[in-house]
Amino acid sequence: MSFAGLLVMLDYGAVLIFALTGALVASRAQLDPVGFIFMAALTAVGGGTLRDLILGRETVFWVEQPTYILIAAGAALLVFWTAHLFESRYRLLVWLDSVALAVAVAAGVGVAMEEGYGPVIIVIMGIVTGTFGGLMRDVVGNEVPLVLKQGQLYLTAAFGGALMAAGLDWLGFQRGEALIACAVIVWVLRAGSLIWGWKLPVYRPRPPRTRG
Amino acid sequence: MSFAGLLVMLDYGAVLIFALTGALVASRAQLDPVGFIFMAALTAVGGGTLRDLILGRETVFWVEQPTYILIAAGAALLVFWTAHLFESRYRLLVWLDSVALAVAVAAGVGVAMEEGYGPVIIVIMGIVTGTFGGLMRDVVGNEVPLVLKQGQLYLTAAFGGALMAAGLDWLGFQRGEALIACAVIVWVLRAGSLIWGWKLPVYRPRPPRTRG
Amino acid sequence: MSFAGLLVMLDYGAVLIFALTGALVASRAQLDPVGFIFMAALTAVGGGTLRDLILGRETVFWVEQPTYILIAAGAALLVFWTAHLFESRYRLLVWLDSVALAVAVAAGVGVAMEEGYGPVIIVIMGIVTGTFGGLMRDVVGNEVPLVLKQGQLYLTAAFGGALMAAGLDWLGFQRGEALIACAVIVWVLRAGSLIWGWKLPVYRPRPPRTRG
């Protein structure tokens, strides 16, 4: 597969899986089907839209190819009719989100590589693409943002994968390989954090302050 | 009136009415006059700004024509000095918002039509222009977002109107007619929901989960 | 110093100080070091990014010059290791934020002047650049947004300074002088509000409504 083909596949994958998580948040907020579609589409294309705007790309990816939105809408309706089959929707949400994060970080890294940016911008675009869709989902849907969960690897997983990809690219590895390594590392770090509690030390010198 | 003239009128109408709703949220948060202007302007131009950025239009509409901002500021001060005359500011807010939603969806649909986009992008731009100003208002002003109110038509009203406009355009109706039909349908659906409780089925297989 | 040089210095100053405030919010949320970097970078470049997108500048400032991000990351780690030395992190946050606000308003005003915009856009870009980084910090970090604190000058301080700069520019003063006056006025108004309770009258005709 060509590098451009891999990028398109990653974008489609991230859109589909993030859409499922957005719809799950809609189910927790007890919205109607159009609300499911809204939350799914917001989550699915939010990070990539911000990436495209910041990089000044000629056209935002889903404006050029509206199929992305139709996929998100289909995923939303699928969840509307099937979410009750799952015992814990929150657990499902968190695990789907981990896969979407991994795929979207790789998609963001890949676009920045393709446009010829240096390592700092490559890493940032991986993190932006990976995390801002979910962040918008959580802020709009009134959930505690996953990026802020204490004692879990989330931003760190995204950062680790994006950094690895930038490093492999710099070392001369093929870009396709770098992206796949990136997605694997993000997911392994995130999954390890969810299962075995892997984490970095957090800031905790004293009890948290009350909101001032 | 020309189609371009109708578009400008819709943009001015949406800015004015959304500004009033932003100022009402500022009154509920007990801000000072500059706070009223900030919330009014954010609500008034938030959705249209996002639309212009996503579509990559050469200039954001209010940067080209700052009168929009002055209108929003005037509306904010009007509310600052008169809001206490209304018995229920929240009721006024919700009803003004319904009119602003209708006008702004039509404005977004019209711009996307004028720029030559297909039906999916037309519908999305209607929804984005109609809902994101109010969404920013509610997130910043710490209100429960109207788009998330359970058992009310809000996104569905925007979706229905935008879809109708795209359909009428496709059937060969004049664009001006399509936009007016769009605004009417959005408003009727939203008003019917507020008065008679029209709604779509919501997702409610079991009690909502606590925040995880 | 040239006007372009002053602009760059203001951007660096705003990035550095806002980054410190973002990291302090991360400390209140007890995040890990990567979370500190995320909050610091979001706060540091959020307002300027929005300014650059709205003005349609060719490249967002930190994409052209990623050093800004590295500075924000350095500031984040500094706070991670030293924040416990301060008796009141919230007090430190508020005061640093007042300096960052002053510098960032001047930076936004300066960019809009340099691009040749009129007084309305100059004032707005000052306010946007000054306030949106902190607003994103507070919304994502789940703090009460400083822009919404009742009975304090915040938006008004930004507005006053930006208006003064636009006025001095119009009267024929040198732009560098106008920017410095702008920063001084913003900071004095904000500091006076924090110390002596300077404020504008707020809207308070009756007790606030409960969320509807």
Q: Which residues of C touch B82 (CB under 8 A)?
A: none
Q: How far is C202 from chain B (nearest CA, A)?
A: 4
Whole-number average pLDDT of chain A:
91
Q: Token pair of A49, please?
A: 């839209």
CB contact under 8 A, C143 and A211: yes
Mention every residue, 6+ apart, whose C-beta is less than 8 A from residue C9.
C1
- Chain A CB within 8 Å of residue B202 CB: yes
Cβ of C39: how many Cβ atoms within 10 Å? Answer: 31
Helix, strand, or coil here: A125? helix
- pLDDT value at position A211? 53
Mean pLDDT of B124-133: 95
- For residues B144 and B32, what is the distance between their CA atoms, to the nearest angstrom? 22
The string of pLDDT tens digits covering residues C60-116 is 999 999 999 999 999 999 999 998 888 788 889 899 999 999 999 999 999 999 999
Domain limits, chain B: 3-196
pLDDT band at residue C211, thresholds of 50, 70 and 90?
low
The string of pLDDT tens digits covering residues A103-137 is 999 999 999 999 999 999 999 999 999 999 999 99
The string of pLDDT tens digits covering residues A131-183 is 999 999 998 888 888 888 877 889 999 999 999 999 999 999 999 999 999 99
Whole-number average pLDDT of chain B:
91
- For residues B176 and B165, what is the distance between their CA atoms, to the nearest angstrom? 10
CB contact under 8 A, A212 and C59: no
pLDDT band at residue B211, thresholds of 50, 70 and 90?
low
CB contact under 8 A, A150 and C30: yes
The string of pLDDT tens digits covering residues B146-204 is 888 877 889 999 999 999 999 999 999 999 999 999 999 999 999 999 999 888 888 87
- pLDDT value at position A212? 47
The beta-carbon neighbor of A203 closest among C38, C60, C80 is: C80
- ipTM entry: 0.91
Q: Token pair of C106, please?
A: 């001047």
Q: CA–CA distance from A32 to each of A80, A87, B131, B156, B201 (Å)?
A: 8, 21, 16, 9, 6
- Are C106 and C180 contacting, i.e. CB atoms less than 8 angstroms apart? yes
Q: Token pair of B40, please?
A: 């009014």
The string of pLDDT tens digits covering residues C1-18 is 788 899 889 989 999 999
The beta-carbon neighbor of A28 closest among B117, B131, B209 is: B209
Q: Which residues of C touch B35 (CB under 8 A)?
A: 147-148, 155-156, 202
Which amino acid belongs to residue A162?
A
- For residues A49 and A209, what is the distance between their CA atoms, to the nearest angstrom? 35
Q: How far is B152 from chain A (nearest CA, A)?
A: 9
pLDDT band at residue A90, thresholds of 50, 70 and 90?
confident
Helix, strand, or coil here: A128? helix
pLDDT band at residue A58, thresholds of 50, 70 and 90?
confident
Q: Token pair of A167, please?
A: 């490093």
Give A189: exposed, middle or buried? Use CB within 10 Å, 0-12, 13-18, 19+.
buried
The string of pLDDT tens digits covering residues B95-113 is 999 999 999 999 999 999 9
**B143 has a pLDDT exceeding 60:** yes
Mean pLDDT of C169-184: 94
pLDDT more than 70, % of chain B? 96
Whole-number average pLDDT of chain C:
91
Cβ of B100: how many Cβ atoms within 10 Å? Answer: 27
Instruction: Say which residue, B88 or C105, is predicted with more confidence.
Output: C105
Against chain C, the chains showing at least 3 CB pairs within 8 Å are: A, B
Greatest alpha-carbon span in chain C: 54
The beta-carbon neighbor of B200 closest among A32, A84, A141 is: A32
The string of pLDDT tens digits covering residues C116-166 is 999 999 999 999 999 999 999 998 888 888 888 877 889 999 999 999 999
